[in-house]
Amino acid sequence: MIINQSEFSVSAVKASQYPEGGLDEIALAGRSNVGKSSFINTLLQRKNLARTSSSPGKTQTLNFYRVDSDQADFYLVDVPGYGYAKVSKKQREEFGEMIQDYLETRAYLKGLILLIDGRHEPTADDIAMYDYAQYLNLPILLVATKMDKIKKNAFNKTEAAFRKHLNLNKDNVTFLPFSSVTKLNVDQVKDWIQARLDE
């Protein structure tokens, strides 16, 4: 897949705000600071399309990015990062509802990319999100981020740490080490997306 163009399309907190137009969607989820904005920018070959954690005013909305590729056009949907320590119970509930509404009802959704920090064992939040994705019965691309920080000969340790907590032996799960710094496996991510759009 060759990505020709991408643009921020719309942010949404409820279904009436989701884009119309009938394009397939791929959702992206991960703990806050996992490298999700960097992942989006790397995949779409853009410097600052998705705002990274260091930017002020990062909002808790579903952000739809329209992507035009040589194969098919689609939306990448940035699901806000989970695992914030400093939000109230009420905020967490509203946030959970917004994500659930989207992931459980959106017919255009073809797959979920779940990002987990490759430098550490998956957290309780990561495991909960993975279990939830399994419950949703979606194709899952499990991406271990920041792998440039891990020596090549320790890659299998990261995979083993993931395996310890998450069942990776499922037909709907693909595991990929990734780095926004070295661009490791960017093409494999595009291939996975293409396969979801072709299904």
Which residues of the chain form contacts with ligand GDP (CB under 6 A)?
30, 32-38, 52-53, 81, 145-146, 148-149, 179-181
Question: Distance (Å, rounded) from C-alpha 42 to C-alpha 52?
Answer: 12
Q: Considering the complex, what minimum distance in angstroms separates the CB of residue 80 from ligand GDP?
A: 9
**Non-local CB neighbours of 31 within 8 Å, separated by 6+ positions:** 81, 82, 83, 115, 116, 117, 123, 125, 126
Q: What's the closest the beta carbon of residue 129 comes to ligand GDP, in angstroms? A: 13
Amino acid at 86: K
Residues 6+ apart with CB under 8 A from 41: 47, 48, 49, 50, 52, 180
Q: Longest C-alpha distance within the chain, in Å?
A: 48
* Residue 22 beta carbon to ligand GDP: minimum distance, rounded to whole angstroms: 28
Identify which of residues 148 and 191 has a Cβ nearer to ligand GDP in the complex. 148
For residue 133, the minimal CB distance to ligand GDP (Å) is 17
Query: Please, which residue, 41 or 69, has the CB nearer to ligand GDP?
Result: 41
Angle, helices 89-105/124-136, rounded to nearest 10 degrees: 30
Question: Whole-angstrom Cα distance, residue 131 to residue 119?
Answer: 21
| C-beta closer to ligand GDP: residue 8 or 108 | 8
Q: Which is nearer to ligand GDP, 179 or 197 (CB)?
A: 179
Closest distance to ligand GDP from the beta carbon of 51 (Å): 8
Under DSSP, the state recorded for 177 is E
Q: Using alpha carbons, list the distances in angstroms from residue 177 to 25, 141, 154, 163, 190.
A: 22, 10, 12, 13, 14
Residue whose CB is less far from ligand GDP, 189 or 197: 189
